[in-house]
Chains A and B, each alone.
Chain A
Amino acid sequence: MEQVGFIVWRESVEALLVVGILYSWLRSDPEGRRGLPWLWGGVACGLGLAALLALLLLGMASWLSDTGQEWFQAIMALAACVLVVQMVAWMRAHGRGLKRELQAGASSMIHRDHWWGLLVLVMIAVAREGSETVVFLYGVILSSQEEGHFTAMLLAGLAGFGAALLTFWVLQLGGRLITWRRFFKLTEALLLLLAGALLVSATDRLISLDVLPTLLDPVWDTSWLLDTEGGLGKVLADFAGYRAYPALSQVLIWLAYWAAVIGVLRRVSRPAQPAARASMGDSAA
């Protein structure tokens, strides 16, 4: 029964991390509050998509073949990765000068597109883990009905979700204890690590689909040191993209990801004249 709670907790934490960080960021800024409806819209769309995906996993729908499912997972993970990085870069830029731009009234269009990006990001984050939680709980509830401890299982599931909310609340609380700037940095780092993990999971799918060559497989085997079956290795795999047997192409993509992220964030953080730098091709990126 504890296990039911634990699995629901684990499946919900990733989505809550994304939704929660964006929520606290939007709330902290008067301009950001405009984005809240988009955030909740994303949650609603995500729940809808999760239900659709759950039907597929339960074998009640067949609009997506096996290969199709793998493509879909890869594309969802890639899209989420791109959107997280874009959102983090935007959050940085916003902190500096977006309010001024807004007051000048020049960027309402750009803004609307960002809100759409926000909606899609939240939708994917909720749908990815949500669909698995739905299927898992469906099975648990179905079998517990036969065995007659339905309520206990339902409570365990709710407890898991409650624990996930608590986890986020503690993180929020941490944000009050440390300065906003630190909290911002910390959540930014968490989101970027998560985006890297999403990218690695997308490369797993693409290698499976024979689309991405492995180059050398595996480059190393660190399963003796830290395996990904459970514990720390599993957490690092889910939130940072750790693999005990990575393929060379995965390692290269992961390194390229961090190089690109650092490049993008440097460029965003640099004060003023972004247009001139962009047209120069920017050797730092």
Chain B
Amino acid sequence: MKTRLAALLGALALGLAAAAPARADEMPTYTLTFKADGTFEPARLVVPAGRFKIVLINESSEAVEFESLPLRKEKVLGPGVKSFVVLKLSRPGEYPFFDDFHPEVKGTLVVTPAP
């Protein structure tokens, strides 16, 4: 029991230590802004299939949560915070996302077939 618990705490510590910067250069990059008036900019983001990065910018004065179960992402951003998510999508189609803290604010990620 004791060793299992120690292993668990060790794993938590490892998670903290895994702070190596993500290698996100040379990736197609798109921007999604949470506007001060409570909308996404753009509300429809069109990207080709593959690996890419979406920079999330929260310009509003409230906290927002970029969330999409189909995209397997959840990201909380405090007021004025900028962050990013890296996605790898091979299946073309429409993926809905929304702001979990303001559930009426919705957007769509449109993945087009790879060129």
Contact = CB atoms under 8 A, between A and B. Distances in A.
Interface string A49-80: 00000000111100111111001111110110
A78 B8 CA distance: 10
B61 interface: yes
Interface residues of B, number: 46
A230 interface: yes
A14 interface: no
Nearest to A10: B100
Centre residue among B5, B15, B80, B96 by max chain A CB count within 10 A? B15
Given A58-B81, A59-B81, A135-B63, A65 B22 contact: yes
B92 interface: no
B78 A113 contact: no
Interface in A21-73: 57-60, 63-68, 71-73
Given A82-B8, A135-B76, A140-B62, A68 B96 contact: no
Given A67-B22, A71-B15, A82-B8, A208 B72 contact: yes
Contacts of A18: none
* Interface residues of chain B: helix, strand, loop or mixed (majority): mixed
B79 A143 contact: yes
Contact of B20 (A57, A67, A82, A120): A67
B65 interface: yes
A245 interface: yes
A138 B103 contact: no
A68 B14 CA distance: 9
A79 B72 contact: no
Q: A interface, how many residues as a size bin?
A: 35 or more
Contact of B14 (A75, A114, A205, A230): A75
Interface string B59-94: 011111100011011101111111111101011000
B12 A65 contact: no
A79 B83 contact: no
Given A66-B83, A67-B18, A139 B78 contact: yes
Contacts of A64: 16, 19
A173 interface: no
Contacts of B14: 71, 75
A108 B106 CA distance: 54
A67 B76 CA distance: 14
Interface of A: 3, 7, 57-60, 63-68, 71-76, 78-79, 82-83, 110, 113-114, 116-117, 120, 131-132, 135-136, 138-140, 142-143, 146, 204-205, 207-208, 210, 217-218, 223, 227-230, 237, 243-245
Interface of B: 1-2, 5, 8-9, 11-12, 14-16, 18-22, 60-65, 69-70, 72-74, 76-86, 88, 90-91, 96, 98, 101-103, 106
